[in-house]
Structure 1
Amino acid sequence: MPIYEYRRPNGTTFEVMQRMTDDPLTHDPDTGEPVERVFHPVAVHFKGKGFYNTDYGTKRRNRELRESAESGADRYEAGQAEKRKEARDAKSSTSSSDSTAKPAKSSGSGDGKKPAAKKPAKKS
C-alpha cells in the first residue's frame, strides 16, 4: 500500500498509508483540521534508445554523416591529387635544370649517405 502525505493549514505534514482505491482524506484523523494531499514529482529515469537528442532522426543523421564522409573523402582525394601534381611539376622542373649540371659522384652505397670516416688504429 502506498504512503500519502497530507498538509495541514499551519504547514505541518503527516503521512497515512492508504489503498490506491481509497478516497483522499479531507480532515486530519487526529485533530479534525482540513488537510490536502501533497503531490511530489516522480523520479524518472530515461533508459534505452530514443531519450537523448542524439537518438532522434537517426535515419536522416546517418544519411547526412554518410554524405559528409563522402564529400570529406572527395576533398581529401582532391587535395592528395593536387599534392601529387605539385610534386610531379617540381620534379620535372628540377630534372630539366639538373640535366645541364654535372652529376654528383656516387659513394657507391646507393642510399645517399656519406661513407663513415675510418678511425685511426690505436698504438699499443
Structure 2
Amino acid sequence: VDTLERFPKNEALENWKREGVYYVLNGRTKQEMPHYYQFYEDFENNVHRFDVERATEMAKAYVLIVHGTNDESVSVKNAEHLHILNPNSELFLVENADHTFGSKEPWTEKELPENLKIVTEKCIDFIKQNI
C-alpha cells in the first residue's frame, strides 16, 4: 500500500487541515494517537524522500526486509512487494509475529520477546555477513 493511500481523503482531509490534528486509535494500546496536519504537509513537500517503494528500487546496498506474518497493521504483501522491487534484498518473515514482534511500550521485562529476539539476531547476523 502506497503511503499516500493511508492519509485521509476528501472531507476527512479538509477536516484535518482545518482542525490541525486528527486522532487514530492504536489497536494494541487503545491510545488515541495524534496525527498533526504538519506531517501531511511535510510529506507532500518531500514525497520523493519518503517514498519507500522508490527508495527500495534505488537502493544499492543489500537490503534486509523483516516482517511478521501476523502483522495487524501492515500486510505481509507490502514486504513481499518491496522484495520484488529490489532483487538485491533478502526477505525475512517471522512466522506468527505481529507488528511489534511481541514487544510493547513501555517494555518492563528483563528479556526481549522471543520474536523480537529472533529479529535482533537476524539483523546482527545480516550486518556481520554484509560488512
TM-score bracket for the superposition, by shorter chain length: under 0.3
Bigger proportion of residues as helix: 2
Query: Structure 2-normalised TM-score?
Result: 0.21
Greater relative CO, 1 or 2 (CA 8 Å, sep 6+): 2
Bigger proportion of residues as strand: 2
